[in-house]
Structure 1
């Protein structure tokens, strides 16, 4: 299940990063079901799908509420998390390749908007807590 999520998440982020735009008005749709969260933006032609049986309930019960962190905070944390994630994908002899299957193409010059950054950030926190990993520094818990 987790492997499918990673493949879908990374593929969608790759699609989202095809061109760099300095400022874009974001119109996103978020649809959540039992174990799937879908984020789509038709104007940028991207879609992110998070498939993980425990993430939706964790997001509802354990994550900080939306707008708790600023967009700048989320973007800076996501850059660090994604950078470390990608380093681990490239070192399968050191890190479990079942956890880190594919690189994520997160472009800091592209404005993904609050919702996308919020969900990526919280998935990274969830991933670290669930899999006992530290992508950098300490892992925030709540």
Structure 2
């Protein structure tokens, strides 16, 4: 299971190494396996792969696409990524098996709604599954 998380983080890092291009960002979202989601644009400037048992089933129970604004998702993802990256740098304080490597999420890059929606929901899933809490102001039992 930990290997799946490593693959997810690696996928997140790949999509973070992109340049900014807002034209021709035709995203393709495919399910390559029952618990794998791949998001990429046609020119492969970035790619995110989420491989986590139960994520697809859990995602189907969450608020639908379009519920959140893109600005909301971008803001939350910046907060999540910053906190996640801080935890990567503190392996004695946080489980290094959960926080393997930093996520390169550039606030100046327009990743599009779909990437931000799935990344945000993955962080929510990660919080619940691994009993982690990133944003203290959010409610919920973990």
TM-score normalized with structure 1 length: 0.87
Equivalent residues in 2 for 1:117-136, closer than 5 Å: 117-136=116-135
Structure 2 partner of 1:76: 75
Q: Once superposed, what is the RMSD of the aligned Cα atoms?
A: 1.8
- Gaps (5+ residues) in structure 2? none
Bigger shift: residues 13-22 or 96-105: 13-22
Task: Show the counterpart of 1:57.
Answer: 57
Does 1:45 pair with 2:33?
Answer: no
Does the 8 Å CA contact 1:14/1:104 hold for their aligned counterparts? yes
Check whether the contact 2:11–2:50 (CA below 8 A) recurs between aligned residues.
Answer: no
Any unmatched runs of 5+ in structure 1? none
Normalised by the length of structure 2, the TM-score is 0.87
* Total equivalences in the alignment: 139
1:63-112 superposed Cα distances (whole Å, 9 cap, x missing partner): 11000000000000000000000000000110011111111000010110
Deviation at 1:24, TM superposition (A): 4.1
- The match for 2:29 is 30
